[in-house]
Chain A
Amino acid sequence: MSVNRTRARRRLQAFRITVFTVLGLFFLVPLASMAAYSIRVPGGGRTLDYWKQLGQDPDLRSAIITSLELAFLTVVLMLVLLVPTMIWVRLRVRSMSRVVEFLCLLPLTIPAIVLVVGLKGVYAWVAYFFGDTSLTLTFAYVVLVLPYAYRAIDAGLASIDVVTLSEAARSLGAGWFTVIARIIVPNIGAALLSAAFISVALVLGEFTLASLLNYTNLQVVINLLGKSDSQTSVAASLASLVFAFVILILLSFVGRRRTARRATIDIAPAPQPSTKEG
């Protein structure tokens, strides 16, 4: 019996080592290849020229700025739209909570490519009212990040007693605006931060909507660059990837700190299809 046990355990150990090694290689080799490719000189030798190119190429530079602006605007608009709504639902119109949740998670099931087809008509009007600038992509991006932001904020609100807090504040004479802005929002800081992080990561990687609505963002320019200067484009990809990785890793730390306080909160990016830029 115990000989069997030891043998079983050894077999399990061998299985685990094999899986981790093989899959580890599968995931690391493309990343390492990108790094090697971006510093390689055709014919031999290494250079950082392609990386220096990143800061100098005017198209790339303005695209980076556009994408950062888009990320910022998306986060602001998302917070302004979602936070008061979600708090209001919890406080005053509980009966609507399922409807709001359904609408927030809906973009997960509608592929971005389908959304683009429908958005073409809407964006004719958006361009009419706001001008034909890439920054108008913000409106569509808020929809894309909605499910992730909703999950993060919902987890944050679940971890505090919204109703009691607001009743206490109300009984002391606070108005609704004070309740939302000065009582509840400061209490869900970590949740708002993780909602913002995931939104930034998604916006910086977004390609589908921008390219098909004929706007320019970082990924669109990187993709164009790939046709003329593949090494600079790979360097740019790697840079944007590392940036997104750092943001998502920061996110997992914010999540862990919160999970430590309340064991039941699930902060891992939602296991659902199609919002990711696949």
Chain B
Amino acid sequence: MSRRVRRLVPLLGLVPFFGYLTIFLLIPTVAVVVGAFVENDRASLSNIKALGDDVVLRTLWHSVVLSAESAVIGAVLGALLAYAVVTGNPDGLLRRSVTSACGVLAQFGGVTLAFAFIATLGFSGVVTEAGRDLFGIDLFGSGWLFGLKGLTLVYTYFQIPLMVIVFLPSLDGMRVQWREAAESLGASTWQFWRYIAGPLLLPAFLGSMLLLFANAFAAYATAAALVSQGSPILPLLIRNALTSEIVLGQSHLAFALALDMIVVVVIVMTLYALLLRRTSRWLT
């Protein structure tokens, strides 16, 4: 008895940490899940049912398309950049500066990023005006920057660097000897990529793409600063539900929408974990 008690005493040192996280991380998360099933202080499925509403479904679809598009574009361009980096001198200045820049740019987002693009391609943006003055073309169009297409472009700005950071280690894991072995057996460059490098890198590539998807799906601040009218994507619909309290007559709709997001993110991250396990077998 007393020995068991003594064994438990060191655990007391963790009480502040667990207490803090319970209040500011676990309770909010549980509150979202529980709140989604509550309406007027009573258990109810009305909010969950509201997720089947046309507006909500369309918004979810927009979010998925935006995240997928920006993830694919970011993954492809990021992989090309990572390959361009990896074929250079591994200790060179170029590689170091590109990886540092990517570390910084992958963190770059929010209001600042939105304003950067408004200053570039907004109605009186620098590039827009240059286009007007020099070539007589209207890059602003009908304000595409403030819609889904604009969000795709702006998200690419942090997706590419993120791809470089997560994909570079896999490219580094490729052994030069594999290439030499293939060449000595008479393989062409195409055959090497088709039968060796491609299949080896594919799980890592797809995994990174999933990570980019989750990243775009969760992003809020950039869209909030860029899109002031309407709620084309899920995070903005949550903002709407939070600030106007009653949308479609449901005060707890924000909780249900948040639960919707959690479900998508959990699915994506589970797939990511599965792919990661596959990748680590070869490329570590």
Contacts and interface: CB of A to CB of B under 8 A. Distances in A.
A37 B125 contact: yes
Given A15-B84, A122-B27, A143-B21, A278 B155 contact: yes
B23 interface: yes
Contacts of A116: 238, 242
Interface in A106-126: 106-107, 109-122
Q: From DSSP, what is the main secondary structure of chain A's interface residues?
A: helix
B48 interface: no
Contacts of B131: none
B217 A111 contact: yes
* Contact size range, B: 35 or more
Nearest to B210: A273
Contacts, number: 255
Given A15-B84, A273-B214, A33 B120 contact: yes
A103 interface: yes
B197 interface: no
B100 interface: yes
Nearest to A118: B28
B51 interface: no
B90 interface: no
A212 B125 CA distance: 28
Nearest to B219: A278
B11 interface: yes
Nearest to A8: B189
Interface in A86-117: 88-89, 92-93, 96, 100, 103, 106-107, 109-117
Interface stretch (A52-60, A64-72, A200-208): A200-208
Contacts of B187: none
Contacts of A106: 25
B43 interface: no
A160 interface: no
Interface string B203-241: 000000001101111111110110010000001001100
B25 A143 contact: yes
The main secondary structure of chain B at its interface with chain A is helix
Interface string A10-51: 001001100110010011011111101110101000000000
Nearest to B162: A271
Given A29-B127, A273-B215, A88 B115 contact: no
A272 B221 contact: no
A62 interface: no
A93 B116 contact: no
Interface in B124-181: 124-127, 155-158, 160, 162, 165-166
A233 interface: yes
Interface string A261-278: 000000011011110111
Contacts of A269: 103, 106-107, 165
A276 B107 contact: yes
B261 A278 contact: no
Interface in A212-257: 212, 219, 222-223, 226-227, 230, 233-234, 237-238, 240-241, 244-245, 248-249, 252
B64 interface: no
Contact of B261 (A16, A37, A111, A226): A111
Contacts of B258: 113-114, 117-118
A237 B111 contact: yes
Interface of B: 10-11, 13-14, 16-18, 20-21, 23-25, 27-32, 35, 77, 80-81, 83-84, 87-88, 99-101, 103-112, 115-120, 124-127, 155-158, 160, 162, 165-166, 189, 211-212, 214-222, 224-225, 228, 235, 238-239, 242-243, 254-255, 257-258, 261-262, 265-266, 269
23 contacts: A16-B84, A19-B83, A30-B116, A34-B116, A38-B119, A84-B13, A100-B17, A107-B25, A109-B265, A111-B218, A113-B220, A119-B28, A205-B109, A211-B224, A219-B110, A226-B118, A233-B115, A238-B112, A241-B116, A249-B104, A274-B215, A274-B219, A278-B221
Q: Closest 5 CB pairs between A and B?
A: A278-B219, A118-B28, A111-B218, A277-B110, A273-B215
Interface of A: 8, 12, 15-16, 19-20, 23, 26-27, 29-34, 36-38, 40, 42, 81-82, 84-85, 88-89, 92-93, 96, 100, 103, 106-107, 109-122, 139-140, 142-143, 201-202, 205-208, 211-212, 219, 222-223, 226-227, 230, 233-234, 237-238, 240-241, 244-245, 248-249, 252, 268-269, 271-274, 276-278
